[in-house]
Amino acid sequence: MVRAMAIEETGGPENIKLIDVPVGDPGRGEIRIRHEAIGLNYIDTYFRTGLYKSKMPLVLGMEAAGVVEAVGDGVTHLKPGDRAAYAAQPPGAYAEARVMPAAQVCPMPDGVSFEQAAALMLQGMTVEYLFHRVVPIAKGDRVLFHAAAGGVGQIACAWAKSEGIELIGTASTDDKCAIAAKAGAAHTINYSTEDFVARVKEITGGEGVGVVMDGVGKDTFDRSLDCLRPVGMMISFGNASGPVPPVNLLDLASRGSLQLTRTTLFTFLADHDRCQAMAKHLFDKLLAGDIEATIGQRYPLEDAAEAHRALEARETVGSTVFTL
């Protein structure tokens, strides 16, 4: 038996409870991994609230790093004793150990710590696919990125800077704008005090950006379309402020034949080879010093409810990890 943080019904952070769960041996295509650090991500709140449906009871969490204890038949890229990390479905990371599918678990190179990997896997591979696997983005291109001081945002700022991409980052306070600028944003906009559409047009000489990356959702979606140049791409990848209402496709036409996609990381990770390549790209960026694992908060695993509350109240900066 191992300790785990789970919900028996959807609702607020107070529904997260400490339970004991059995951990058996891995079957074919599975591993058993003992966690050393666990990542907190906004997607965890979607499962907790019921926005994303799942069977109950549910151990939360999509990301962790640790040591492989056992492997099942057919697993060739990992062996017992390997240091490994993952961002993967199904949920179940908020536990001391678990048995899970092996295909999306990735070997960790020397020089990457468990906490770094737990802070980076989901957010970092999100940034990897946003910049490399949705629409071509080249050196000199302009990108608008919302919530640029958050965990994903800070990685995106650094990633863009390392590749010569002009990232315009938005945040809710001057302090958070400063964090985004330090991370690598070329320009920052405090959307609480500034009209971000007007500022984007000012920064781009009235042209607009080629790509918007929006993990906020409902509160920023519609006006973000006005930040795009003709035939620009809107990448909606999260719902931090709530899901985006239905979109009239004619609005995309009238605003300049805009492109729109709603992406999710796990589509890109579903292919084993692509997942491993994305993780290697991420670790290479980290080891080269192009990006950092900015851990703003650490909580004991049993304080998962408080961590969820802080995340939803926008009190966190950078990544949050659970310690064991």
> Parallel, antiparallel, or unpaired: how do β-strands 30-40 and 142-145 relate?
unpaired
What would the pLDDT profile of 45-84 be if each residue is shown by its tens digit?
999 999 899 999 999 999 999 999 999 999 999 999 999 9
What would the pLDDT profile of 117-171 be if each residue is shown by its tens digit?
999 999 999 999 999 999 999 999 999 999 998 889 999 999 999 999 999 999 9
Q: How big is the chain by its Cα radius of gyration, in Å?
A: 20
pTM for the model:
0.92
What are φ and ψ of residue 212, in 5° steps? -110, 135
Sheet strands side by side (includes 2-7): 17-21, 2-7, 58-59
The residue with tokens 């199904």 is: 90
| CA trace torsion 316, 116, 242, 172 (10° rounding) | 40
Q: Any residues with CB less than 8 A from the CB of 171 and at least 6 apart, and which?
A: 147, 148, 149, 153, 177, 179, 180, 188, 189, 190, 191
Class of domain 2-122+266-323: alpha beta
The answer to whether 295 and 51 have CB atoms below 8 angstroms apart is: no
Q: Do domains 2-122+266-323 and 135-262 have the same CATH topology?
A: no
> Parallel, antiparallel, or unpaired: how do β-strands 17-21 and 2-7 relate?
antiparallel
| Neighbouring-strand partners of residue 212 | 144, 234
Q: How many CB atoms lie within 10 A of CB 287?
A: 13
Instruction: List helix spans (H) across the chain.
Output: 42-49, 114-132, 151-162, 174-183, 196-203, 221-225, 249-254, 265-269, 272-287, 304-312
Q: How far apart are CA 96 and CA 292, in angstroms?
A: 26
pLDDT at 199 over 90: yes
- Mean pLDDT for all residues in the chain: 96
Mean pLDDT across the stretch 9-15?
Answer: 97
| Omega within 30 of 0 (cis) for the link into 57 | yes
| Neighbouring-strand partners of residue 106 | 85
Report the pLDDT value the prediction gives residue 151, as an integer from 0 to 100.
84
Domain-by-domain residue ranges, the chain?
Answer: 2-122+266-323, 135-262
What would the pLDDT profile of 216-268 be if each residue is shown by its tens digit?
989 999 999 999 999 999 999 988 788 899 999 999 999 999 999 999 999 99
The residue with tokens 């070329």 is: 186
Report the pLDDT value the prediction gives residue 207, as an integer from 0 to 100.
97
pLDDT at 282 over 80: yes
3-state secondary structure of 98: strand
* CATH entry 3.40.50.720 includes domain 135-262: yes
174 band by pLDDT with thresholds 50, 70 and 90:
very high
172 band by pLDDT with thresholds 50, 70 and 90:
very high
Q: Any residues with CB less than 8 A from the CB of 269 and at least 6 apart, and which?
A: 87, 88, 104, 125, 275, 278
Pick from 248, 190, 314: which is nearest to 198 by CA? 190
Pick from 260, 163, 145, 263: which is nearest to 213 by CA? 145
